[in-house]
Structure 1
């Protein structure tokens, strides 16, 4: 609308997203605007409640000292405020999870705008050039001395990775071999008969002790 009123292209100098700085949606919106317009966009706390979306308003600073603001009206829409125009409302209907997933599945090719927004937010480059299939490297939280780089190296070449000091596993206990020590029962298969009690010593009962039968009657 601003470009149509001027009759010439409009240049965005900067922008800001007012909302929750820790919200992922607010950060992605700021990254997307920064990638599309080629200008810095920051996320600042909002003076109002951020609401469920995490974003209260988006402000764009244009050339010729003009400003465009989009603010959540908390009624399922956004109010657009721009120079020399009355306020207008754009409907922003909430969609179900199925509708959102269906929209994502309509395009299975690489999402360059999304990768550019991530690059602007994270400061990393070359995200769109990464392979489609990547191998996840798990970092063991119980090994604080293991860095993520060491975990990736261990996954790629486990035999070449030196063990960190103090992390070597203790050797398993072994039973020393004794010459001539054999199991006679295992070799001959003989064992003592349960009825053979010739080697047992007789039980000596004192004269004052009650017999087994009398003890059983009690």
Structure 2
């Protein structure tokens, strides 16, 4: 990865959509995009989501209730059929996986990795993980201009296992997927909108993807 962060604001005429649903950390994502000069539409309208150039699928909350909401409103099928770049954040990434141990939830199945609960053997290790942690083994242009071992902000008690779709790794209890990628779908376990300049660079990189 290149070592210098790109401080240039994004200039884009792209239509960027943030998926509106019952588990979105939407306002903080909007603020982060505003900081890099990007506007986004928050919507659950199927046609507007399909017509977007880029889609962000955020998430803070519980897997089963979030999936139930997506299924009831037909958003699950819409998300799985998208062909433009899609970025899942935190719970959004977990919902893009095959299955979550959180209330035995069948998820979207975009990534084949399972989502498991942290089970620390040492009582000094707190769950959920809350705070800054480093990411490494960075792959794809989602991490352009970032150094190995860059720090991002995490808040989660469940994690996606490492596998064939892993494009960044983090250690907490054990190694797990900090980010996933398959075709046009990307997911990050951390919160780029809360990860200072590193997170802003990742958002810029996503918006710049072809």
TM-score by length of 1: 0.24
Higher RCO, 1 or 2 (CA under 8 Å, sep at least 6)?
Answer: 2
**Higher Rg:** 1
TM-score by length of 2: 0.25
